[in-house]
Structures are given as structure tokens and as C-alpha cells.
Amino acid sequence: MELTHFNDFLTVAAQQAEPQRLLFVFATAALPAEHTEEEARRFAEGQGGTLAPVMYVDKAQHEVPDFDSLVEESKHTGRDWQIVFVGALDGHRGQVISSEAAQQPLELMVKHIENGQIERFLAFDKAGQPVRFV
């Protein structure tokens, strides 16, 4: 199934044999402290820059009914974001893994994003559209 919206991701997660714990890392675009004029110009046009995680959370799949609910909940944090990276962890024997068990993989996900290793994660913009990095 081709993912054309975040809600497609939720549909796929719900179809898995084991219940899923979903991992979310919300990030914002930033201009590096040491940048060229060209990089600043491109950033002003909405291109380039770096992605900096601003918050992260894990949730059982059933706790995220749709993208709009996730966005609405994120507004209560007071932190702005442009992209949400997502991952999923399989449950075991019909039970979703605990939030505590997801903590280390979630922190590792944050570190990968901080290091620019984003190709292994799905990413969506604030409209729920998939983001492809080239």
C-alpha cells in the first residue's frame, strides 16, 4: 500500500499481526549557526537547513485515532514543529509493548534524526502528507 497520508500509516499499523507501539519525533527546520549567505537564502525559500527534534512521544496504536487528533494534542505542548518522524514497534503475544520498553528505541530514534540519519523513518508534514528527502 502506498502511503499518501498519515492516516494510511495508521491503517497499516492496525493491520499488523501484533499490536503496535508508535514512536513520534516532532522536528522543526533550523538554519545552522554557521551558514553561508546562499544557505540562508535557500532556507528563507523553504529549502535546506537542518531538522532539530523538539519533542517526542510514544503511543499505543489505538491511542492515535487519526492525524488531526495527533496535531491537536501536539498544540497543547506549545512547541511548533514542521515534520513528524514515525516508527513502530511490534507487540508480543497480542500485547502492546510498554511505554517504558519503548523509551530506549525512541531515544535512539531521536539521536538518528539529530545525526541526519532519517532515511529509515517515515516523515509527514503538518498536513499529514508524506515527506520525501532527496
Q: Is residue 31 part of a domain?
A: yes
Q: Is residue 40 part of a domain?
A: yes
Whether pLDDT at 9 is above 80: yes
Q: Is residue 134 part of a domain?
A: no
How confident is residue 33, by pLDDT bands cut at 50, 70 and 90? confident
Q: What is residue 29's predicted lDDT score, i.e. its pLDDT?
A: 86
Number of structural domains found in the chain:
1
Reading the block at residue 54, the C-alpha cell is: 523538539
Q: Measured between alpha carbons, how far apart are the two ends of the chain, in Å?
A: 21
Q: 3-class SS at 13?
A: helix
* Helix H or strand E encompassing 71: helix 67-75
Let me know how many helices (H) and strands (E) the chain has, helices first.
4, 4
Q: Is residue 1 part of a domain?
A: no
> What phi, psi does 23 have (nearest 5°)?
-110, 130
Q: Is residue 132 part of a domain?
A: no
Q: Which residues constitute the domain of residue 39?
A: 6-125
DSSP 8-state secondary structure symbol assigned to residue 69: H
